[in-house]
Structure 1
Amino acid sequence: MKKWIATPAAPAAVGPYSQAVEANGTLYISGQLPIDPKTKTMPAGVREQTVQSLKNIAAILEAAGYTKNDVVKSTVLLADIADFATMNEAYAEFYTDKLPARVAYQVAALPMGALVEIETVAVKG
């Protein structure tokens, strides 16, 4: 069984995709750009953008009935891998227990000129 998740507490999709889809106890959260859902703007720095992307993920997790402790995998996309340490500091403040598996990549560019985007998979149980 599939369930599509949408919440106004996270930014709406900027293309033809869903914020998240739950299938058989697994929640697949689309890459979250650091867009503030209220102001529709992005903060300026990598740290602030990481925090906003993680806030968006937390809102989607909550809307789907999951918590950050249910997260099993994150994929972090960075516009510049030199920002890894800064991103990592903010990320470590969000995930402090039951750390998910993670990979981080530098990409050629991110939508809307973002510096960071984070995709997440969570599993119930």
Structure 2
Amino acid sequence: MPITRYGFDKKGAGGQNLPFARAVEAGGFLFVSGQVPMQDGEIIEGGIVAQTHKTMQNVIAILEEAGYSLKDAVRVGVWLDDPRDFWSFNGVYKEYFGEAPPARACVQSRIMVDCKVEIEVTAYKDPS
């Protein structure tokens, strides 16, 4: 089974090389690394709503690059910096996943960069 890595050459904050792939595909699964509300190497300003939209746009771009979509998502992991953002985050999240969302875990955690949300996605497409 071949393994494909996407975006290993991408840069993070301050133009640093990131020591991980943005996504890895294996056996019909696509594992999207945790994404944050980053644009042009910097975290965007704004609250949880703006940052969640940007993070989801980053996730969607990676999924599409690999030939997947949000409809292929089977599991999502979410880290929120502030638990008070939970309900506002859920409102934005539902705009993207609708009435048939994937399995999800959502926890409060300090995030390694100064942002309010990080999202990782596992997607699946039958390889046959």
Aligned to 1:28: 31
Consecutive unaligned residues of structure 2, counting only runs of 5 or more, are none
Query: In angstroms, what is the RMSD of aligned CA positions?
Result: 2.0
Write out per-residue CA displacement over residues 20-56 of structure 1, whole angstroms, 9 at most, x where no aligned residue: 00011100000001112x4734132111111111000
Question: Structure 1 CA distance, aligned partners of 2:114 and 2:43?
Answer: 11
Contact 2:78 2:106 in 1 (8 A): yes
What SS does structure 2 have at the residue aligned with 1:120? strand
Match of 1:63 among 41, 58, 65: 65
TM-score by length of 2: 0.86
Count of aligned positions: 121
Taking only the aligned residue pairs, the percentage that are identical comes to 35
Larger CA Rg, structure 1 vs 2: 2
Question: Structure 1 CA distance, aligned partners of 2:8 and 2:96?
Answer: 20
Residues 71, 60 of structure 1: alpha-carbon distance in 2 compared, 3 angstrom cutoff = same
TM-score by length of 1: 0.88
Aligned to 2:76: 74
Residues 19, 39 of structure 1: alpha-carbon distance in 2 compared, 3 angstrom cutoff = closer
